[in-house]
Amino acid sequence: MVRLFHESVDLRAALRTLRRFSAPIVVSLGALLALGAMGYRTIEGWSLAESLYMTAITISTVGFSEVHPLSDAGRLFTVVLIFLGLLTVSLIGAHSARILIDNEIRSILGRKKMKKSIAELKGHYVVCGYGRIGGTICAELQEAGIPFVIVEKDEGLVEQAEVAGCRVLKGDATSDAVLKEAGIERAAGVIAVLNSDAHNLFISLAAREMNPTIKIIARGEEPGIESRLLRAGADSVVSPLKLGGRQIAHMLLNNLRSAGPHAVPSPMGLMLQQIRHAEAMQRTVDDLLRESRALLAVAVQRADGRTEMMPSGESLVHPQDILLVCRSAPDAETNQTI
């Protein structure tokens, strides 16, 4: 598995490594405190609180005065306790420093290995974003044996991609320098699936400028963004929400056609319901959704026989049209007339 880290020391990774050794550190300090407290209690006959306090100020070398005058045996025990405390703290400090240094060395070596691996790629795909959609895409590419590089700036997502065994470049996918480092000029395609349509638009522009022959697939969600992405250089624009909505709509519509003109439950606890628009005036889809308290407009069956899938909220529903809506199963009733 290849990895890429920041140019500077990855302190988060170092702290995570340190946490693995927190138990031995706590045990060592606890054992030292217990030894000191029992020693003073046995030698000097002090209370447990006094013995514990004396142990704490001794091993921490803060220089407070003694709780009570010490006997010769107590002074000798104090000297031994001081050296044990210094030794324990020194070992903990040395071990922590070694972890930090080892982590920095691994960062440098991992970065060089990643750069070399990316530099050797040709005809690969650059996946910008490793969220839910990007992760699914990468899993499919990985299963098909297609080489790809992930560009992701979120530390947690970078770690997830590394665990999955992917090549990961940590950085901002909207940066030209980062795209070049990902080998955009030698890539066969770029897949822009960031959460921001503006960022996907920028990536499409930059990728087309740096590699005129590259295949660009971009994610778009906002109304009207599809044409802008295509003008910016994208070859294909995909809206996951629309695709998912169409899939649900077709599934429920098939159920409805096979079961007859009644509300049909789906496996997801939803119901498909017909709303017949019998008024003389035309209404918008949003108006009918609000009145019927439905969740989603699935389709409009026009009076002339046409079916409009996944209508927008501004779409007009004319008299004698039938609106198919999706609503939660407990609230669903038989066909409504509005």
261-337 has CATH 3.30.342.10 classification: no
Q: Residue written as tokens 């989603």?
A: 296
Instruction: Write the CATH number of the domain with boundaries 11-109.
Output: 1.10.287.70
Structure tokens at 136: 């699914």
**pLDDT at residue 73 above 70?**
yes
pLDDT of residue 263: 46
pLDDT of residue 252: 60
pLDDT of residue 146: 92
**pLDDT at residue 121 above 70?**
yes
Please give the average per-residue pLDDT across 186-201, as a whole number.
Answer: 93
pLDDT of residue 205: 94
Query: What predicted TM-score, i.e. pTM, was given to this entire model?
Result: 0.52
**pLDDT at residue 35 above 80?**
yes
Per-domain residue ranges of the chain = 11-109, 121-238, 261-337
Q: Are 152 and 158 in contact (CB under 8 A)?
A: yes
Q: How many Cβ atoms from other residues are within 10 Å of residue 44's Cβ? A: 19
Indicate the average pLDDT of the chain.
Answer: 79
* Confidence label for 212 from pLDDT (cuts 50, 70 and 90): very high
Q: Are 164 and 157 in contact (CB under 8 A)?
A: no
Instruction: Write the CATH number of the domain with boundaries 121-238.
Output: 3.40.50.720
d(CA 258, CA 151): 46
Write the pLDDT tens digit of every residue in 3-23.
333 333 344 555 555 566 667
59: left (phi over 0), alpha (psi -120 to 50) or beta: alpha
